[in-house]
Chain A
Amino acid sequence: MRPTHPQRLLGVAGVLLAVAPAIVLAQQPTTIAGRVTTEAGTPIQGASVSIAAIGAGTYSQADGRYSFVVPATRSNGQQATVAARRIGFQPRAVTITLSGGTITQDFSLTAAPTQLNEVVVTALGQSRQKSQVGTAVQQINADELTNTKGQSVVQQLEGKVSGVQITASGTPGGSNMITIRGSNSISGDNTPLYVVDGIPILKANESAAGKGASSNGGFDFGSAINDLNPDDIETLTVLKGPNAAALYGSRAANGAILITTKRGRNSGGRVRTELNTFYTFANPAILPTYQNQYGQGAGGQFAYVNGAGDGVNDGADQSWGPKLDGRTTGCVFIPKTTTYDTSKPCTQFTAITGGPWVAHPNNVADFFQTGHTASATLAVSGGTDKANARLSVGSDNSSSFIPGTYLTKSNASLAGDLQVNDRMSATATVNYIRNAGRNRPGQGYSNSILESFVWFGRQVDMSALKDGWQKSATSNNGPDGREFNWNYNFHNNPFFLMYGNPENDTRDRLIGTVASTYKITDWLNLTGRVGSDLYRYGITQDFSSADITGSGANQNYAGAFGLVNDYNNETNSEALLTANKQVSRFMLNGTFGGNIRQQHRDIATVSTNAILAPGIYNVANSAIAPSNFQQTYRQQVNSVYGSASYTFDGWWTVEGTARNDWSSTLPKGQNSYFYPSVNTSVVLTDAVPALRNRVLSYLKLRASVARVGNDASPYQLITTYEGNSNKFKGQPQYTLGDVLANADLKPEITQSGEFGAEMSFFNGRANVDASYYDKATRNQIFNVTVSPASGFRQKSINSGEITNKGFEALLSVIPVQLSNGLQWTSTFNYSRNQSMVAKLAPGVQTIVLGGVWYVNLEARQGYPYGVLYGNAYARDKATGLIYTDGGLTVAGSRKVLGNIQPRWLGGWSNQVQYKNFTVNALLDMHVGGSLWSVTNWFGDYAGVLKSSLQGRQEEWNKPGVVINGIDINTCPSYDDAIASGACPGGQKNTTNITAEEYYQNIFPVNEGYIYNDTYVKLRELRIGYDLPQRWAERAHASALNIAITGRNLHTWTNVPNVDPEIAYSTDNGTQGQEYGSIPNARTWGISVRVTP
């Protein structure tokens, strides 16, 4: 059995590389063995021990022991460097002579929580000593990334990287917005570039707003980056901003995330097994706190007749009805009184002739279910000094906590490396992903699950809706042809919403790279690389004509449907010369290369709001002419770039980079842009060894300036005519576009400077990596509104400036490290970004980015990027009290009510190891910033939230609310009071109003529902146990670990009722706005991990 594995593996690698490698087995090999321990003598498990030059190595076991074999062909008496590395320790290397036989080599490693001397990946995939890097980069390794099971690689980054802000849509399988060091662009892209194994990949955000849904919400189909399987990732490196990413030129403004995938290793021909599995249970992390004292209705009355307005308030979708005290009669008043008429039965949708009027306190919670996710990645890898391969298969199946929603993701990945001869090597990776969703839940205002519980009858029995969603509405007097529900005016039965309007989507994706490197001389390599990322995304959404909201479906027909077919491709072809040469005390590095990037997208949609035969959601079954939409986008950027750096004596490095991009999207003659950068780093403790003492063991300073860009999208230069797929009486229709194009478009330009320090104290027991940066983005591309009488709505311009300044720090310490093996490692990352819209365009004060319900998200000159601008209360200037009119609040002018920029972000990660146990805990912190919560606003308006009980503690109309304010009618002038807050001699309000009157009148004012969005989340918890080593050996692995894991286990926040982290979508314009948003999942699970 055993010998066949490597052959099979290598066979696969051979097919992959189209070269059949000759397998030469050693006859007189050298065996290198020993122990890896801490300085205190505690065994270190999982340390890598390898000879990089010949690609041989292994990992240490639980007792610290390791052993590997160097084949005889390589054991000819030469010197080799054996290095031992382990996360959390400084690597150590020794030189040995390979001459056959057995060599014993022990390693004693010094703890270093961050790898100040580690090798990091920088732009263009270059590996560099961190001590020689003059910009801010942070590397996350596989273990850190996959401690717990998040929905995606981006979620698994949450709280781990300073300077990075992640906004998640709570939707299962939903999208994320990730920004590094703030937003640079008013209306363009603000998310980083993703590069996998040196090749940029597609990053489309299929967010609710991005998929054609309006601010009224829609469906969220996730972000393309989430297709990657975290278990296939070896390291993830964040290039924090323009300086580190400068070599990416017109894509560098927002920083970059470089992902290196796992590959096979020289295992001496043995197969290595790797397995990472999770089984997790999910529940909504936060649900609103509802009141359970009053049921559906208005003015204290309710009587159901047909749920559409024929009864007393039975069309109402609010809970201002009679008290839920179990009464069976007396839910409406005797006419012209406010005395309940006990001769009339209490009727409701489940009891149309009468029944008890009782609360169902858990009705919303009962809608949800426990979600299940089973995920597993199985990989086999192995290799010799000539070739290696890794084959990985992953699968991720979820049934959401929202009934009806299912998500599946399958990955298969094959990576191989081949040393063709002494000069030439080749590598190839292919990754296939199938990402599918069924019945994704809606967010926002229309057909959204959480929104339908904001407008709700608190007495509604959820089990009746669950059991009856397929019944006809006529079973409780509702309109013929509709689903069974509690209300026939406004909302769908939530179960109908999930099951009755089926949605299906699939993304089939292939990411592949082939590369070859030719060693021209010892110091000069030429690499050619081609990588392509392509996917086809198909979505079908069907609507039943029984849908109450009528969304989509024409009542006269059998239903409606829409389908989307979206093809995306990005191909990069590049050539890169790299030179590394030591010239006396200087180490010189140079790169020179070029890239051709081609992007292609085809999107087509078909929709109709009327189908003929029920249940056949096919365009051939359209009852009327369907609407069609088709767009093709093509874009190409040609680039040449290079860098040169020298390192003097290992402690002083200066690097310059330059890139020139020629872009197809910019006007001819003005499409060439040059992006330079320069950086330097000095390891002061090496330059001046006297600086080193018992406290300070390492000090490095770095500084950098860079100028980079942000591309324009295609077809922005000429105004075109837009066609209409629907002919008018058979006649084609065109109309001139409404936006005046800009024939002189330029890319957005970001200039950025940064300064940083890396310090290590107490021999690596404490480390600090801190940066300060200051950047400005000019030539913002955006559309400015012009007078419509010009014949155009907007004009595309280059103008304005956004600045971002900030400070970020990563502090890692080992507070406890005992000889008995107990070790506590703690890492805290901190980021503070100050953003400012410095300038817009002449005469333009604000650009509206988005908004919901009277609150705009705006880029307003002189304010941070992303202010919430909405309706405030009218207030008395002298006292600061709000005005009342007839006891009700009074709406004042519109103003800036908050801004979405947090004051700071933090992540506190802890790891405690003792014997075979490891506990990891991560706290994620978001301090400051504002959140506009529509759920709270409408939840109070509709009387469903517990907070709306104030003023009706005794009865629906008692004791009432007396607002602490000034009666505006006692002001000398009503108009002056509103306009300037002037009310000399104004009297305090004494009018008592009902809670219903109070809350229903707050509607025009948003001010009270903008919250300070501070929260702390227990983001990750993992309690792991390493199984005995001999079990691992049996599984061809180095370690076996089982663990209990959890995510989002607790949230500390002052924001009521909603998940403070969640925006209703993840686009520029939807940040800071909570709106029927689906909360994050709180998950618990178990994990089994087999380390190769």
Chain B
Amino acid sequence: MHMRNFFLTAGAAAALLGAAACNNDSLTSLNNNPNAPVAVPPPTLFTTAARLSAQRWIGNGYDLRGTEWVAQHLAEVQYPDEDDYKRLQASSTTGWFDAPYYQELEDLNKVIGFAQVAKDPGSYAPALVLRTWDYDFLTDTFGDVPYSDAQKGDSSDAALAPKYDAQKDIYADFFKTLTDASTALTSASNSLHAADPIYGGSTAKWQKFANSLHARLAMRVVNVDPAQADAELRAAFTAPGGVFTSNADNATLPWPGDGVYNNPWSGNFQGRDDHRMSQTLMNIMLASSDPRVPIYAQPTVADSTGKTYAGMPNGLTQATASVYFNTASRPGNIFYPGKTAYGTFSSAGLAQPSYFLTYAEVAFIQAEAAERGLGGLTPAQAPGFYNAAITASLNQWGVTSATTIADFLAQPDIAYKGGTPGLIQIATQKWIALYSDGGQAWAEWRRTCQPATLIPGPDAIINTVPRRFEYSNTEYSVNEANVKAAVQAMGGADVFTTRMWWDTNPTAAPTYPGPSCGTRP
């Protein structure tokens, strides 16, 4: 063996190894992810997005640990930092801004994209409606938010720091989107089926949801642009398919209650005992012997007869709040999961549905539109819609006895008064009917300032009820120029007191009680 043999052997080995090494195709295909696909049937994304939407805005943190205190349906009896608005500052609320964008909104965006290419309005129109429902919570919570430029991180423009859109423009696009979706649904066929946990893919129901959501958003802008409100209400009421006409039309997420996917309130109450009824809500309901009281609330633990229902003040200190531990009512048994760390309750709660939008709310919108002569309705129609709304709410929460309902409607405080007193009744009853939807209850309160008894608690860190939450900390670190431009556009400071675009003319509301609105004396 000589040097030549060495080179021959080396050369042969090199050729062999080189052949293996440079076989790029098989090497590269080894990196095809066997765990997760690069394409999936769009309806599977819709299912995730619908569930996440409900968990995000009408159940978990944003609702149960945020807006329920602000809207004062509930009050916090232990560690009342949220109820004092301390833990509603940016460090705590950042996730409410961030997560929707890269979770359900991103998934809905994919559904819309795929279904539009496939010319399948049965999928893209429901996704557009649900996306609008989600974005409404986002913009009504923060103000101007990324919208037209959002969800484009993986598109060709790779927008990793999207600009913010003015709320006014976002609302304009909401109306257009809902009109388009409603129109598209007229000739759509069901393509979501069981992947749609809200309506099972029924295009007729989605069309009603589109039009009803259109009405909700139209009424929201009434203080700043009554003409737009009028036109959009009219568009909603007269659109093909119409709006909700009964509780059977309600957009709900019926939770399976299977131990994995439970009603978010009952899931939370399994381990935590922080929540009591707010006296702001309970005082109003108790004054009118509202038959929903034993459903919304439980009797206090302190009263062994089981007949006492009571609320507690919002915004206390740990020491002053803990006094109410046994003397204020817990939320109703229907939201409790059976056995908890601190006691055993009725076990229906795990499957209690969450409500995206109800017929009761639609009827309240119609009552208000009628009273104000908007959307083609007349004041004479107001009492009918008002009674229908309350009846629908009572039915929705399980009060079905005709006598009970009639008795309640006949009460002096409840019987419809018409005029501005009527509008106050509509606003108050709508706020009560929105129980368990803190975000919408808060938005409606900001628009109407009813009930006027809603003011910050004694230990809240500011003297007025927040008109918005602060922008995400993440945005300040990675999208600074755009978030700062949005803050400037909204008035210069990223604070609780900045008003929504639709909230900038509060005195236009007939129900406006004066500058004391939402202010602690």
Contacts and interface: CB of A to CB of B under 8 A. Distances in A.
B338 interface: yes
Interface stretch (B357-365, B376-384, B470-478): B470-478
A611 B98 CA distance: 35
Contacts of B13: 575, 577, 592-594
A928 B338 CA distance: 54
A327 interface: no
A733 B259 contact: no
Given A592-B10, A632-B34, A662-B27, A729 B44 contact: no
A521 B106 contact: no
A731 B48 CA distance: 9
Contacts of B103: 735, 738
Contact of B260 (A579, A627, A718): A627
Given A521-B5, A662-B27, A715-B35, A789 B145 contact: yes
A729 B341 contact: no
A786 B477 CA distance: 9
B492 interface: no
Interface residues of A, number: 75
A554 B145 contact: no
Nearest to B337: A556
Given A640-B21, A718-B33, A791 B106 contact: yes
Contacts of A722: 36
B40 A790 contact: no
A792 B271 CA distance: 32
Given A638-B20, A740-B154, A735 B31 contact: no
Given A627-B260, A722-B36, A787 B162 contact: yes
A714 interface: yes
Contacts of B20: 594, 596, 638
B5 A787 contact: no
Contacts of A125: none
A3 interface: no
Nearest to A482: B341
Given A721-B36, A721-B39, A640 B17 contact: yes
A577 B5 CA distance: 12
A724 interface: yes
A790 B151 contact: yes
B305 interface: no
Given A662-B24, A665-B31, A719-B154, A550 B98 contact: no
A671 B482 CA distance: 38
Contacts of A660: 21
Categorize the interface residue count of chain B.
Answer: 35 or more
A610 to B, nearest CB: 6
Contacts of B40: 721, 734
B33 A734 contact: no
A862 interface: no
A791 B99 CA distance: 9
A1003 B104 CA distance: 37
A791 B154 contact: yes
Interface in B145-167: 145-146, 149-154, 159-162
B110 interface: yes
A575 B17 contact: yes
Contacts of A729: 194, 197, 256, 261
B501 interface: no
Contact of B9 (A577, A623, A671): A577
B339 A556 contact: yes
Nearest to B195: A731
B297 to A, nearest CB: 22
Given A640-B21, A728-B256, A733 B153 contact: no
Interface string A621-641: 001110100111011101110
Identify which of B13, B152, B472 gathers the most chain A CB atoms within 10 Å of its CB: B13
B479 interface: yes
A354 B468 CA distance: 53
A223 to B, nearest CB: 25
A880 B51 CA distance: 53
A72 B271 CA distance: 83
Given A662-B22, A735-B45, A635 B161 contact: no
B28 interface: yes
A430 interface: no
Given A524-B6, A731-B44, A795 B36 contact: no
Interface string B1-36: 110011001100110111011111101101101111
A790 B159 contact: yes
Interface of A: 308, 479, 520-521, 524, 526, 550, 554-556, 575, 577, 579, 592-594, 596, 609-610, 623-625, 627, 630-632, 634-636, 638-640, 660, 662-665, 667-669, 671, 714-715, 717-724, 726, 728-738, 740, 785-793, 795, 843
The 7 closest A-B pairs by CB, nearest first: A624-B259, A594-B17, A790-B153, A521-B1, A789-B146, A720-B36, A638-B21
Given A735-B45, A788-B102, A789-B162, 12 more contacts: A479-B342, A524-B9, A592-B14, A594-B21, A623-B259, A638-B23, A668-B24, A726-B260, A728-B48, A728-B261, A729-B256, A789-B479
Interface of B: 1-2, 5-6, 9-10, 13-14, 16-18, 20-25, 27-28, 30-31, 33-40, 43-45, 47-49, 51-52, 97-99, 101-103, 105-107, 109-110, 145-146, 149-154, 159-162, 194-195, 197, 256, 258-261, 270-271, 337-342, 347, 472, 474-475, 477-479, 482
23 contacts: A520-B9, A524-B5, A609-B259, A625-B259, A638-B20, A640-B21, A662-B21, A714-B33, A715-B36, A719-B154, A723-B36, A724-B48, A726-B261, A728-B47, A728-B197, A733-B44, A733-B51, A734-B40, A787-B146, A787-B161, A791-B106, A792-B153, A843-B478
